[in-house]
Structure 1
């Protein structure tokens, strides 16, 4: 990964890159780039990281605003033999401080805004690294990038396949995120190489315009960066914000043919699908990972495409394992909780009893365990927690599902989010399908009480009669709580922090799930 951009540029790839805003590490470089230019940027960044004191074997923490230069910074750190730790700038300062203590970085690369937010919360983040680099160059306690330029760049260092390569964190919907450690063998050899194959129909082609709207602090984009550049599409379009009015002109200037985005970003950009001559008319393949995606959202994008048979590839996996299963949806969008089958020749899957961890029969619900060569090396600073989720070579995902007679997996819920006697995810699908005004529905499982539905609408209001009709045949639910999108606590990937939300709504409420495998 340290020489990825160099190798792709040396192959004379003609891929161009178009950003919705300039990189934070090079704000003067504009929004249009080619691979030789990005290779020089990684080379320059590696030089100033070395000048800041980064040495082989050190860790480099990266905390900033959302942008793809998270991965350019990570590649620069890898190039000089360091291990990058990508941490979301969306994290609360208190959580960020805990994670930085576990990382123990030689250098913290961040922004003045992150440092100021920390001090406002009583946390001086600069004390948690030997050296801090402020990309804005305005914080008096940190170095700026111009302070570090002009030094030579050390020759590239190739890490061993099984050594730590990169650290990233989980989404953190249930509390403090875990720090996941991956190696070259797991995240590149087992994941990126698989994605980098030109698979008929669904593989990225040399003529494609590939758009990505993601949370670039997470591990998914590190893998995506490797596979996307290897596949050499004609254009790569990077979106960092989910405001429809900001995304629309970028997508119109570079109409995508393949799109990957966060489920929450698909929800936020959905209004674009109904605009005249919408920006998704040329898309033949949509892809989503990270979180559940609900039927109305999938249908809106597939209907927006002018292609004869556009497809939606839905992946299910975790930061610890990478993709576990995948399936394809078309405009009929049936059985959205059907996650398909495990990745052939790569992933084994079984469903076990939550109490005994012994396998259950086909058609019976239980906890999902997987076995994959892509499983991470561990949790940084939490060895016992990692060991508790490991069962020999099997990994406990903490997800509840049913495996059918043909091997297909139907997801029910996260164990920590369960509601006895029902699937919250299935109920959320039903409600969103029946009520057009509902942007998002979140069911919160509560011990000893009916689940609490939190309903997101554009204006924070809900037609009570329509609600009553929509849930009449569902299991008993508490009265709906209506909110707007921005009123819900969210992670950097747009997932709702369900436990924070439940605590805010009812301080005495206890989740129905045990949370043992979170």
Structure 2
């Protein structure tokens, strides 16, 4: 066999631990042997449907065993998997399918019912609907042939196109090769001692890179078991952690916030958890300390879809000492912080550049965007960070989120960290808004803890003791919740539309 790609993983793992549960959904296990058999049969079905090497197969559905099977089946053929955000509206979905040139759309029946007025209803594409049935929902497309396929898959071959969340401008299709994802898994396993007895809870959406590449793939490589949940439910998640003795958890800030606010969080048995990973935006220290009080350090890192995503990691041993940091570079990743083309000094902010075998070769069908994103082998992330004297990185903000007030650069994340230190603040965001006198000034959007009373003067007085005067927001807006996308990423662009 010449297959060195991700599609070969089901065969390699099935010959090692065939009876071990690879995936569990709704209490029904799928063994590694069943996963390999299902992916192989589906690959033959896709080939019969006309899918060949390089063809794009799109998937539109919630987390499911069918999604995992379809992904491995596509990889076995040398096809390109295109997982799509389930929150996409019709025009957004049509753009992703058209731009990727998808030959086939595998779609969960609930999102594609004949009477549906949803985004799939009017699409003109070969479509295969399915209903989640413990991994057998795609049986009608699969063949009975279980012989291994003979495709020669190399690490440089394209594995996936993941569309960015599109918080600004048209979403771009990030190309990830088999090698990008595999090197990312190696990076993670150098930093984290995952074992074959791992029980990973997968509640974040698999159409985004973090849950897929930081949790599912490492768990499968090590021969652990992934509990696949269609959607995130904090109450159910705590129940599963207790009942199934979950060892590995992944979430973003909004998910950890929801778990901490769940009714049984304070007394729930979380002793089985030895690792909680986070991604996306930095978690505020107040929330980190809430979890520390439950005996669990949330391991933060820094990454982005274009890096598959892992770039830096704050290892557990340094978790308390460097609380709030994103850590240092992963083993096979290199990071620079620059202004222009010059590396900055210690504690001086600059743009993060990354390089390594986990970094994308570029954007699908967009040579201009690819050229703008790279300087040689270095990818421009658009994120601003500082490094301390020990080399630990702290992400300050997005380059596009920074605003200039009276000639001074203001990084909203710095103000947000100060807001989170107030006991009434559950979640917050700061943006720059136009101002006749100063060009731009800050506006804070705040979600309060239950029972807390809105008091903008108290919040501003709290900030005045912690940040420079020019960084103080000029207004505070209280909201019941902040807008997030399906992966939990805060959508700041929408806040600009909220009237004060």
TM-score range, shorter chain: 0.7 to 0.9
Q: Secondary structure at the match of 1:281?
A: coil
Q: Residues 362 and 104 from structure 1, CA distance in 2 versus in 1: closer, same or farther, beyond 3 angstroms?
A: same
- For residues 466-515 of structure 1, the C-alpha deviation after alignment (integer angstroms, 9 at most, x for no partner) is 42443232332132222223xx4322201121112213447xxxxxxxxx
Q: What's the counterpart of residue 444 of structure 1?
A: 431
* Aligned residue among 356, 376, 386 for 1:402: 386
Is structure 2 residue 162 aligned with structure 1 residue 168?
yes
Secondary structure class of the residue paired with 2:185: helix
1:435-456, CA deviations, whole angstroms, 9 ceiling, x for partnerless residues?
Answer: 2x43211111335232211112
Tell me, in whole angstroms, the C-alpha distance in 1 between the residues paired with 2:343 and 2:65.
41
CA-based RMSD of the aligned residues comes to: 3.0
Residue equivalent to 2:3: none
Answer yes or no: is 1:191 the counterpart of 2:177. Answer: no
**Match for residue 44 of structure 1?**
41
Paired residue for 1:392, among 376, 398, 411?
A: 376
Q: CA deviation at 1:193?
A: 2.8
Q: 5 Å matches for 1:225-264?
A: 225-233=216-224, 235-264=225-254
* Alignment partner of 1:479 out of 475, 484, 490: 475
The aligned counterpart of 1:89 is 86
Match of 1:381 in 2: 365
Task: Please name the residue that 1:455 is paired with.
Answer: 446
The Cα offsets for residues 174-229 of structure 1, whole Å up to 9 and x where unpaired, read as 343321111122221x21233345x6xx4113344333332200233443433212
TM-score, normalised to structure 2's length?
A: 0.85
5+ unaligned residues in a row in structure 1: which ranges? 22-29, 138-143, 507-518
Q: 1:288 to 1:115 in 2, by over 3 A?
A: same
Distance 2:430 2:113 in 1: 35
Alignment partner of 2:333 out of 315, 329, 347: 347
Residue 72 (structure 1) shift: 2.6
Compare 3-12 and 331-340 and name the one that shifted more.
Answer: 331-340
- Is residue 148 of structure 1 aligned with residue 138 of structure 2? no
Answer whether contact 2:211 2:250 (CA < 8 A) is retained: no
Residue in structure 2 matched with residue 10 of structure 1 by the alignment = 15
CA 1:285–1:273: 2 relative to 1, 3 Å: farther
> Deviation string for 1:338-388 (max 9, x for gaps)?
2222224x22222222xx433333332221112212111211122201110
CA distance in 2, matches of 1:273, 1:261: 18
* 1:262–1:239 distance in 2 versus 1, CA, 3 Å: farther
What's 2:462 paired with? 470
Aligned to 1:62: 59
- Write the deviation string for residues 94-121 of structure 1: whole angstroms up to 9, x where unpaired: 2221111111111011134434699747
1:215 maps to which residue? 205
For 1:181, which of 175, 185, 195 is the aligned residue?
175
Kept after mapping to 2: 8 A contact 1:51/1:151: no
Count of matched residue positions in the alignment of Structure 1 and Structure 2: 475
2:93 aligned with 1:105, yes or no? no
